[in-house]
Amino acid sequence: MVTSGWFHNTRVSPDWLKEHYPTFPEYAGKVGGFWAKDVRAGRDFGRDHLEGYLEVRYEDLIADPAREAARILAFLDVDADVAAVADCIEAASFERVSGGRKTGEESRASHFRKGAVGDWRNHFGADAEAAFAKEAGAMLRELGYE
Protein backbone atom coordinates (compact mmCIF):
# COMPACT_ATOMS: atom_id res chain seq x y z
CA MET A 1 0.00 0.00 0.00
CA VAL A 2 2.83 2.40 0.85
CA THR A 3 4.79 1.57 -2.28
CA SER A 4 1.72 1.85 -4.49
CA GLY A 5 0.82 5.18 -2.90
CA TRP A 6 4.35 6.49 -3.33
CA PHE A 7 4.41 5.70 -7.03
CA HIS A 8 0.89 7.06 -7.51
CA ASN A 9 1.88 10.34 -5.89
CA THR A 10 5.13 10.60 -7.85
CA ARG A 11 2.98 10.31 -10.97
CA VAL A 12 0.05 12.61 -10.14
CA SER A 13 1.39 15.07 -7.54
CA PRO A 14 5.20 15.06 -7.43
CA ASP A 15 5.43 18.64 -6.13
CA TRP A 16 3.05 17.91 -3.25
CA LEU A 17 4.95 14.74 -2.42
CA LYS A 18 8.33 16.51 -2.48
CA GLU A 19 6.97 19.29 -0.26
CA HIS A 20 5.37 17.03 2.37
CA TYR A 21 7.41 13.83 2.23
CA PRO A 22 10.72 14.43 0.48
CA THR A 23 11.97 10.90 1.12
CA PHE A 24 10.40 7.49 0.83
CA PRO A 25 11.14 6.65 4.51
CA GLU A 26 9.29 9.81 5.65
CA TYR A 27 6.34 8.85 3.48
CA ALA A 28 6.42 5.23 4.70
CA GLY A 29 6.27 6.30 8.33
CA LYS A 30 3.46 8.79 7.89
CA VAL A 31 1.35 6.52 5.71
CA GLY A 32 2.05 3.61 8.05
CA GLY A 33 0.45 5.61 10.83
CA PHE A 34 -2.59 6.45 8.70
CA TRP A 35 -2.90 2.82 7.60
CA ALA A 36 -2.73 1.44 11.15
CA LYS A 37 -5.31 3.97 12.38
CA ASP A 38 -7.70 3.21 9.51
CA VAL A 39 -7.34 -0.56 9.84
CA ARG A 40 -7.93 -0.25 13.59
CA ALA A 41 -11.12 1.75 12.95
CA GLY A 42 -12.34 -0.85 10.47
CA ARG A 43 -11.59 -3.75 12.76
CA ASP A 44 -13.27 -1.99 15.69
CA PHE A 45 -16.35 -1.45 13.52
CA GLY A 46 -16.24 -5.10 12.50
CA ARG A 47 -16.09 -6.29 16.07
CA ASP A 48 -19.26 -4.35 16.84
CA HIS A 49 -21.05 -5.01 13.52
CA LEU A 50 -20.21 -8.54 12.48
CA GLU A 51 -22.97 -8.62 9.88
CA GLY A 52 -21.53 -5.56 8.13
CA TYR A 53 -17.82 -6.38 8.08
CA LEU A 54 -15.69 -8.67 5.97
CA GLU A 55 -11.93 -8.55 6.14
CA VAL A 56 -10.22 -9.14 2.80
CA ARG A 57 -6.49 -9.43 2.20
CA TYR A 58 -4.96 -8.54 -1.14
CA GLU A 59 -2.59 -11.49 -0.83
CA ASP A 60 -5.56 -13.86 -0.49
CA LEU A 61 -7.29 -12.34 -3.51
CA ILE A 62 -4.17 -12.99 -5.57
CA ALA A 63 -3.48 -16.47 -4.15
CA ASP A 64 -7.03 -17.80 -4.64
CA PRO A 65 -9.19 -15.31 -6.53
CA ALA A 66 -12.10 -17.73 -7.02
CA ARG A 67 -12.41 -18.55 -3.33
CA GLU A 68 -12.08 -14.92 -2.23
CA ALA A 69 -14.45 -13.56 -4.89
CA ALA A 70 -17.05 -16.18 -3.93
CA ARG A 71 -16.61 -15.27 -0.26
CA ILE A 72 -17.07 -11.55 -1.01
CA LEU A 73 -20.10 -12.12 -3.23
CA ALA A 74 -21.69 -14.40 -0.63
CA PHE A 75 -21.08 -11.77 2.05
CA LEU A 76 -22.82 -9.20 -0.17
CA ASP A 77 -25.66 -11.67 -0.66
CA VAL A 78 -25.39 -11.55 -4.43
CA ASP A 79 -25.03 -14.27 -7.04
CA ALA A 80 -21.89 -16.24 -6.22
CA ASP A 81 -22.18 -19.05 -8.76
CA VAL A 82 -19.15 -20.15 -10.74
CA ALA A 83 -19.98 -17.92 -13.73
CA ALA A 84 -20.47 -14.81 -11.58
CA VAL A 85 -17.19 -15.44 -9.79
CA ALA A 86 -15.37 -15.95 -13.09
CA ASP A 87 -16.87 -12.73 -14.48
CA CYS A 88 -15.68 -10.77 -11.43
CA ILE A 89 -12.20 -12.22 -11.64
CA GLU A 90 -11.92 -11.41 -15.35
CA ALA A 91 -13.30 -7.87 -14.92
CA ALA A 92 -10.77 -7.11 -12.17
CA SER A 93 -7.76 -8.92 -13.62
CA PHE A 94 -4.55 -6.94 -13.78
CA GLU A 95 -4.22 -7.73 -17.47
CA ARG A 96 -7.65 -6.24 -18.18
CA VAL A 97 -7.41 -3.10 -16.01
CA SER A 98 -3.83 -2.37 -17.12
CA GLY A 99 -4.61 -2.54 -20.81
CA GLY A 100 -3.00 -5.89 -21.51
CA ARG A 101 0.12 -6.00 -19.35
CA LYS A 102 0.93 -9.15 -17.39
CA THR A 103 1.29 -9.03 -13.61
CA GLY A 104 4.78 -7.75 -12.84
CA GLU A 105 5.15 -5.74 -16.05
CA GLU A 106 5.65 -2.27 -14.65
CA SER A 107 4.37 1.00 -16.07
CA ARG A 108 5.00 3.95 -13.80
CA ALA A 109 2.78 6.06 -16.05
CA SER A 110 -0.26 3.93 -15.19
CA HIS A 111 -2.50 3.91 -12.13
CA PHE A 112 -2.12 0.12 -12.41
CA ARG A 113 1.66 0.17 -12.02
CA LYS A 114 2.69 -3.45 -11.50
CA GLY A 115 0.08 -5.59 -9.76
CA ALA A 116 2.62 -7.73 -7.92
CA VAL A 117 2.31 -8.92 -4.34
CA GLY A 118 5.40 -8.17 -2.27
CA ASP A 119 6.91 -5.52 -4.55
CA TRP A 120 7.38 -3.35 -1.46
CA ARG A 121 10.47 -5.46 -0.68
CA ASN A 122 12.13 -3.97 -3.78
CA HIS A 123 11.65 -0.42 -2.47
CA PHE A 124 11.81 -0.52 1.33
CA GLY A 125 15.29 -0.04 2.70
CA ALA A 126 16.07 -0.33 6.39
CA ASP A 127 15.08 3.32 7.02
CA ALA A 128 11.66 2.96 5.38
CA GLU A 129 11.02 -0.35 7.08
CA ALA A 130 11.90 1.11 10.48
CA ALA A 131 9.74 4.20 9.92
CA PHE A 132 6.76 2.07 8.86
CA ALA A 133 7.24 -0.41 11.70
CA LYS A 134 7.42 2.40 14.26
CA GLU A 135 3.93 3.57 13.25
CA ALA A 136 2.32 0.34 12.12
CA GLY A 137 4.28 -2.51 13.67
CA ALA A 138 1.63 -3.39 16.23
CA MET A 139 -1.01 -3.66 13.50
CA LEU A 140 1.30 -5.75 11.32
CA ARG A 141 1.72 -8.17 14.20
CA GLU A 142 -2.01 -8.22 14.94
CA LEU A 143 -2.73 -9.10 11.32
CA GLY A 144 -0.06 -11.80 11.28
CA TYR A 145 2.33 -10.08 8.89
CA GLU A 146 5.28 -10.27 11.31
Least confident stretch, 13-17, 38-42, 102-106: 102-106
Question: How confident is the model over 90-124, as pLDDT tens digits?
Answer: 999 989 988 888 987 877 877 777 888 888 888 89
Structural domain including 31 reads 2-142
pTM assigned to the model: 0.83
Q: Please state the rounded mean pLDDT for residues 24-33.
A: 96
Q: How does pLDDT run across 50-78, given as a tens digit for each residue?
A: 999 999 998 899 899 999 999 999 999 99
Residue range 80-91, pLDDT digits in tens: 999 999 999 999
Q: Can you state the percent helix, strand and coil of the chain, rounding each to 5?
A: 65, 0, 35
CATH number at residue 120: 3.40.50.300
Q: Give me the number of domains the chain comprises.
A: 1
**Contacts made by residues 13-21, CB under 8 angstroms, sequence distance 24+:** none
